[in-house]
Structure formats: C-alpha cells, structure tokens
Structure 1
Amino acid sequence: MRTPLILDFDGSAGAVPGAVRLALGDWQEAVRFGCGWRTLRGLRELFAARLPATHGTALLGSGDFHHVSLLLIERCAARAPLEVVVFDNHPDNMRFPFGVHCGSWVRAATRLPHVAHVHVVGITSADVGPAQSWQNRLLPLYAGRLTYWCIGADTRWARCLGLGRAVRRFGDAASLLQALAGALRGGPLYVSIDKDVLDPAVVRTNWDQGVLREAELLDALRAFGGRIVGSDITGEVSAYRYRTPWKRWLSALDAQPAVDPAELAAWQARQQALNARLLAALG
C-alpha cells in the first residue's frame, strides 16, 4: 500500500500506521467550510513546498474540508489525464459567491484541463431535488464534463431541462454501481470519498447521509483495480466553532447536525476503523 498522507487540519483522522502527517491546524479557521481563492492559492503553494512528490491516499479530516480535494486532483491530473469519481451524498456543485467551499468545488474540478469527466456518485440529498435545483451549476452538466449519480432523489427537473443523461437516477445502489462501471472510460481514476455517502448505520458524520453500505463501497473500489492513481478520504467528525461571523452564519444555514461531545470519541473510533479498510481497498 502506498504511504498515506494526513492533511491534519482538525486532528480527527487519528493515528494511521506509516502515514506522513502535515500539521495544518493554523489553517483550520481560514479553510474549513469555505475560503477565498487567494487562501486556496496559499494552500496550493504550501503543498508544492511541503508535500512529497508521490503519496498514497490523503485523509482530509472533516467533510468541511472536501474542497481541498481540488488541489490534490489538480496535482494528480498534472501527471496524466484522468477521470474523477467522487463518492458523496451531495453534488458539491452548488453556487457559492465567496470563493470555493465544500459544497461547490466540483465545478472547479470539471474545469481542470486534464480532467476528462467528474462523476459524483451516491447522491440522495435534497440538493438535487426540485426546490434546490436552481443552486446547481448547470454548465458542467450541459457540457458533458459532470454526471450526477443519484439514488431515489427527485430529479425530474433535470429531465425537463434536457439533462437526463447528466443527472441519472436509480432505485438502489446496486443498479447505480453497475451502470457506473459501464460508463467509466477505462483510463486512470482519481477517487474522492466523503463518508457522508454511507448509511448512518455504517458510520456517523456531521452532514446528512446517504444509503451506501460499506460492502457496496468497498466492492466498487476493488472493481477499479489498478486504475486508481490518486485518492482522498473525508467525512471525519470533529467539533469546531468558527471565529469568522460569515462562516458561523452559513454553517447554520446548512443546518449541520450538532455533534454530541459524549459520543464524539466513539464516532471517531468507528471512522478510523473504516478508514483502515478503505485504505486497503484503495491500495
């Protein structure tokens, strides 16, 4: 297994045998949930200076840092053209006027020159429902650079807009994953996993969750075989109070479930045990 990398913004990933750990606690307030493009450029420069040239799966901590995947995909795509598979309960392609955040970064990933296509897999969130359809950025869907793979969500609005091929709906995870396997182009893959795609019976996160079972996710990863050239895992649980007023306001609007301090350690232990199994499947 390639050497894992911990981007340690919030201390939630725990101990991972053999991993390289980059301490980023000083960046937590600036990057968590969302940040301006200038801040992201600063983080890119830090990665260029301090990350190893090659590494295994990166652990990002809380799902509030999922937009950091954009920098990792950018580094990986600079070496070879690839497709990106994002396992996530949300499309992460929503409108955000203040730069980039954990729910908007996918649009930027579709614009990277060596990313052929982005697949967001396992969406059940109301973010792809009719009430929130206006928040989704439609251009990458129309341009054939992005596909939503949804389970049970109401996506009739997409068919009305001629996006039936880009916003795909399935009745269950098994039929979705079978169709996904047939849609991938057969070349190198970057895989990003937000564990909120999983049923809460598997692990608990601080976002609303999907319906995938662990066995379904692991089987999908193994089916990718040696095609995975880069990967990351997010969706850990950590408690944090923002000092920045606009972040407190926006996170409240997103109605993130509060983490019970009495349960936090148990949630993190289950998360870390799952991480070990995901790392083994990613190779």
Structure 2
Amino acid sequence: MFSVLILHTENSYLLQKSILKKAKCVDLRDIPEKKLMATFETLKRIEEKLPQKQHLITFLGKGDYHYLSYLFLKRIKEEFTLVVFDNHLDNQPVFDKNFISCGSWLNNAITLPLLKKIIVIKPEIESTNNTKIKVIDFNPDALEKELENEKRIYVSIDKDILDEKFLKTNWDGGNFSPEMIVELLEIIPKEKILGADICGEPDDFNLFDIQKSEKINNMLLKALTKAPVLRREFIS
C-alpha cells in the first residue's frame, strides 16, 4: 500500500473524497504569504509542519505551490534524477534571493549536491544554459534514453501541462492528455522512484473541474504505483 500526503495549501482537495480517503493531510492554510512564492523563513515554517516519514506521493495544491517540491527534494539522501512534467520551465530568475517561487524553484533544486540532473517534460522544447537541465517534449524514446543509467528518480507533475479541454488549471495549459502523462510514467521503472508530487489543481469551487481533476489524480496515482515500489526512508 503506497503512502499519500495532501498539503492543504488552499481548499483544493476538500471535495476530492476519493483522494482524501487515501491520504494523510497537513493543513497549511493558517500560514500566510505563501501563494506563488515564499520567503525561506516561511518555507521553514511549512517544513516544520510536515510529517517526518516517507510519503510516496504528495499533493501540493495549485501550481502556485509547485515550489514546495523543493522541501521533499532536499531530504533525499542519495544521488537522484528529477523528472518534471510542466507547461513551464520553472528556472526563471527570482526578484529577491530571499524568496523561492513557483517559477524559480528549479534554480534552488539545481544547487542540491545529490541532484544529478533535471529532465523537464513539456509541450515545447526550450533551450537552457544550465547543463544539468534537459528539456524534452512528448518523446518516450528520449525519456527512456535519459533514464537508462539513472538509479533513483523523483517525479514532479504540474497538471498545467494538460490541454485545457482535459483540465483547466489557474495557469495557461499545454497540449498533453492525461494518457500521454501516464504513457511516460510507465516508462519510469517503479522500483527506482524515491517519491513524487502532483500539483496543478483548478479553482477551489469549480465543481466540474474539481471532478475532472480528481479523476486525473487517481489516474496518476495508479500510474505511479502500478508496480511494487522500493520502500526507502529518504525523509529524515
């Protein structure tokens, strides 16, 4: 049985009953000034509320909180590769070095000494000056080749990669279908996955989109846990 953690950054999961049944929940709604970005002081407050044990898959909320991935990455105690599904390349410069943001968090992740490389999967290939970041589009062969010699993998999914006909998040959407994400996830050997997180929830009270998001979340959970998962205590 896999472990699931929900971070109540807003109210994104309150109506996703099938996800709630599977998860331990941490309420972060009382922490102010965390939407889109946070100071490292605020990030520390958030970290202090997280359980000190492994949770294979963490639901972060809207894409505004994708930077919370960093908290789980920095706890990994062995060399690993990060695979990110996203409509955006989140390595933009931040206006103040005292902040981490949903658009800049890869810059923080890249400094982690145990992170070997980042593979960003997005609808359109972008160039980047950082040699540790590799950007690919929907290309199963390319992903398989990139992961060929990787021993440990962390997966981070922002559902804004999806075409808006499948799900409308609060960010501009890409052109993927849920099935395209699942196809790529199935390439990743499950015994190599150290952990995963999922964000990209729709507006809190749009019932139609919430129902679609819940269905997609269950698809992603199933794809990530289809095979036996290596149980490792990577959270100290």
**TM-score bin (small chain):** 0.7 to 0.9
| Structure 2 residue identity aligned to 1:19 | A
8 Å CA contact retained: 2:136, 2:142: no
**CA drift at 1:44:** 2.3
Partners of 1:38 and 1:54 in 2: how far apart? Answer: 23
Paired position in structure 2 for 1:96 = 94
Cα deviation 1:210-250 (Å, max 9, x = unaligned): 111211110111211222110000000135xxxxxxxxxxx
Matched, 1:183 2:119: no
**CA drift at 1:42:** 2.4
| Structure 1 residue identity aligned to 2:117 | H
| Structure 2 residue identity aligned to 1:39 | T
Partners of 1:212 and 1:18 in 2: how far apart? Answer: 26
Matched, 1:23 2:27: yes
Q: Secondary structure at the match of 1:83?
A: strand
| Change in 2 beyond 3 A, CA 1:123/1:93 | farther
**CA drift at 1:52:** 4.2
Q: Secondary structure at the match of 1:30?
A: coil
Higher helix content, 1 or 2: 1
Q: 1:44 aligns with which of 33, 43, 47?
A: 47
| Structure 2 residue identity aligned to 1:229 | L
| Change in 2 beyond 3 A, CA 1:36/1:147 | same
| Further displaced range: 198-207 or 87-96 | 198-207
| Further displaced range: 216-225 or 63-72 | 216-225
Q: TM-score, normalised by structure 1?
A: 0.72
**CA drift at 1:102:** 0.3
**CA drift at 1:63:** 0.5
Structure 2 unaligned segments of length 5 or more: list them: 226-236
Matched, 1:145 2:132: yes
CA RMSD of aligned residues (A): 1.8
8 Å CA contact retained: 2:60, 2:198: yes
| Change in 2 beyond 3 A, CA 1:46/1:236 | same
Paired position in structure 1 for 2:105 = 105
8 Å CA contact retained: 2:26, 2:49: no
Identity within the alignment, %? 30
Larger Rg: 1
How many pairs are equivalent?
217
Paired position in structure 2 for 1:117 = 117
8 Å CA contact retained: 1:81, 1:188: yes
